[in-house]
Structure 1
Amino acid sequence: MAKICIVLHDLRGGGAEKMMVRLANQMIEDGDQVDMILITEGGSNKPYLSKEVNLIELRCERTLNAFGPLRSALKRCQPDGILAALTHINVITAITCASLGWLKKLSVSERNAFSLDKKVNSDKVMKATYFLAPYIYRLLPNPVIAVSKGVAQDLIDTTVVRAKDVVTAPNPVITKETELAARQPPKHPWLVDKSMPTVIAVGRLSYQKGFDMLLDAFADVQKNIPSRLIIFGEGELREELEQQINKLGLNDNVSLPGYSDNIIAEMKAADLYVLSSRFEGSPNAIVEAMSVGTQVVAFDCPHGAREILQDGRIAPLVQANCAKNLTHPISQQLNYISAIETSSSLTASVERFKSKNSSSIYRDFLLRSV
């Protein structure tokens, strides 16, 4: 049994936070002792964290203020291995571990396309963090853990990070809990009583997720195929997306219900999942949809979708950042939806994203110096 500590900003409804909860839960199931330190507190993923994980909430207003509290928390935990997730948390955790002489215990992880993610963070402190991070990564004894080959290559191509400074590990997307959750009925009324084909998308209502492009594409689909679109998620662009829905005349056919407490059940009941993101790290929702046999259409955005869909052999992969490119494949899938059966190739292709496999790989990276 090992003592492992995971450091995060909070447990908000993002993919990184969800994956760290699933990783912690799997490590507990595998017999390890896990502490999770949150720089702030709470978040919508908190209820899904195992009660056996020791949750420490520092309640710092900003990451900049976290050095002292984080240092004290780590000293109390005395971990064998430490995992930090997301760039700004990676930096503060590296500085803190350096002050303790614990850099050999630390592994940091990048969850997104670094070169693109830094462009959407305009805060001066965050800009400085993104400038500093690659130099810290190059100096760390343990390599950065990237969630996909694309994320790893982006770090190498656009920063001072070298190939030897990065490794990859799959996200722990599929768990016993998700497999049980998939057996539950959906809750959205359009999926409970499905009177027409229904498309689903999932993610934060933000620029990155490209839902503005998805709405434009869906408006074109609607001209020929009566159907519905549900976008699960919440975020800063809700009002803009609602205005776009109204302008496109889609109020009766598009729903923005917020977050779901069982998204995989909603996915299973849907006819098609669409990824419209401008960039990703490793889009977990594609894996979740495929794990329950739901058909997928995805932008070939940087990064992750191409790897998951095996260069488009598993499902349609289209040129990114153009709404019109989504229209035809969505229409094509919906036209033949009655003839499509649950594909064993979809479920088989995501076996590597099972939490047991992911946890084993992360554990090897975290404890290599022990």
Structure 2
Amino acid sequence: MKKRVAIVIDSLAGGGAERVMLTLASSFLEAGHSVDMITLEDDREHSLPPGLRVHCCFGAKSGAITGFWRAAQSAAKLGRFIGAIEAAHGPFDLILSNLDKANLLMARLKLPHLFFVVHNSVEEELKRQRKLGPLAYFSMLRAKLALTGKRLVAVSRGIADEILQTGRIHPLSIEVIYNPFDFPALAEKASEPQDLPKGDYLVHVGRMAKQKRHDVLFQALAQSRHGLPLVLLCQNVKKARKLAKKYGVEDRLILPGFQTNPYPWIKEAKLLVLSSDYEGLPTVLIEALALGTSVVSTDCPHGPNEILTGELKRFLVPRRDSAALAAAMDDAVNHAAASDALRPALPESLRRELEATQVMARYLALCDKS
């Protein structure tokens, strides 16, 4: 029986959660289900799968829609907006809310079949926000506490364990469903022609945010012995160049900007590096391994140690340790250069669990639990 699915998210800007939900939407659509993507803000950088209906509730300049005095009014407007879509196309069998702004508003609505997807470490995000001052911290805390009493989906076992062990949030239920990956489509996109650098290079994919710890990455690049350039796929090229100059590695950066198709860059890289303080389930690690590219990652909460298991554990390093990251980068470059036969791969059991069709089936099963 075909289902109607709504995916509610802050925007379709160039982030990991947005890409994950678009992959999931594509899987639903290919299976014949109906999907409506409902965004709060009109900010779109990703390409959309055919057949996906996208609706924006608040427009390009929505302002402080989740502010203390506006949240109730904004939630009511969003509720009416969703009701209008259902009136036009039919009621939803499953509604998935994503990211803090959307979650804060959706938590106020008494909608059936509603689940909240947690893409990141709650505690690590709050620690980072606390450094920005009390207003920023309590603004985020409101969004996290709004998840109490709700049905949650965690994108990694680490996130689910954190929520249950810390007791800050008391969910009605919590499921672990890994992010979906369309591996055949990934391989196809990775084969598309791109103007790639000549010779070997490293690659890092991620927005210029403190969570991603580009300062640690650039320090490690400065300390490494391999001398390879680093391709940085990010939005804020000016900010990246300024920070790289601070650490003396500006001349080793290649900055093509944000790429809607980063996969040829990842596939042809000698090594992909993740330097984050925290993640949820780092998509780029899985994509790199699926494309046969070596990886090095900080052992941050959460996700990397669920991906890099067995022999790949050697490429996990303590977070915020630039020397350890530099040594692991050198080790991985040497390891990758030794023989093409040593190219890494995803463990088959994990690959099966990440297949988009399997993940889609797990989400569809939620329809019977709500």
Q: Give the alignment's TM-score, normalised by structure 1.
A: 0.87
Please identify, of 172-181 and 105-114, the stretch whose mean Cα deviation from structure 2 is larger.
Answer: 172-181
Which aligned pairs between 1:52-131 and structure 2 lie closer than 5 A?
Answer: 52-60=51-59, 61=62, 62-64=64-66, 66-76=74-84, 77=86, 78-96=91-109, 98=110, 102=111, 104-121=112-129, 122=132, 127-131=137-141
Q: Does 1:275 align with 2:288?
A: no
Equivalent AA in structure 2 for residue 200 of structure 1? V
Number of positions where the alignment pairs a residue of Structure 1 with one of Structure 2: 351
Kindly tell me: are residues 114 and 312 of structure 1, through their superposed partners in 2, closer, same or farther at Cα, counting changes over 3 Å? Answer: farther
Cα pair 2:305 2:313 within 8 Å, conserved: no
Quote how far apart the aligned CAs of 1:183 are.
1.6
Quote how far apart the aligned CAs of 1:79 are.
0.9
Q: Does 1:214 align with 2:224?
A: no
CA distance in 1, matches of 2:171, 2:134: 29
Return 5+ residue gaps in structure 1 as ranges: none
What is the DSSP-based 3-state SS (H/G/I as helix, E as strand, rest coil) of the residue aligned with 1:63? Answer: coil
Please identify, of 344-353 and 152-161, the stretch whose mean Cα deviation from structure 2 is larger.
Answer: 344-353
CA distance in 1, matches of 2:158, 2:65: 28
CA distance in 1, matches of 2:168, 2:14: 31
Residue 147 of structure 2: aligned partner? 137
Kindly tell me: are residues 125 and 71 of structure 1, through their superposed partners in 2, closer, same or farther at Cα, counting changes over 3 Å? Answer: farther
Equivalent AA in structure 1 for residue 204 of structure 2? A
Q: Does 1:357 align with 2:367?
A: no
Equivalent AA in structure 1 for residue 334 of structure 2? N
Residue 198 of structure 1: aligned partner? 201
Q: Does 1:160 align with 2:168?
A: yes
Kindly tell me: are residues 245 and 344 of structure 1, through their superposed partners in 2, closer, same or farther at Cα, counting changes over 3 Å? Answer: closer
Identity %: 25
CA distance in 1, matches of 2:147, 2:278: 22
CA distance in 1, matches of 2:261, 2:141: 38
Quote how far apart the aligned CAs of 1:251 are.
3.1
Equivalent AA in structure 2 for residue 361 of structure 1? R
Cα pair 1:137 1:165 within 8 Å, conserved: no
Residue 20 of structure 1: aligned partner? 21
Cα pair 2:37 2:52 within 8 Å, conserved: yes
What is the DSSP-based 3-state SS (H/G/I as helix, E as strand, rest coil) of the residue aligned with 1:34? Answer: strand
Kindly tell me: are residues 204 and 320 of structure 1, through their superposed partners in 2, closer, same or farther at Cα, counting changes over 3 Å? Answer: same
Quote how far apart the aligned CAs of 1:125 are.
6.9
Q: Over aligned residue pairs, what C-alpha RMSD do you find?
A: 2.3
CA distance in 2, matches of 1:340, 1:275: 23
Q: Give the alignment's TM-score, normalised by structure 2.
A: 0.87
CA distance in 2, matches of 1:225, 1:301: 24
Return 5+ residue gaps in structure 2 as ranges: none
Cα pair 1:87 1:110 within 8 Å, conserved: no
CA distance in 1, matches of 2:7, 2:172: 23
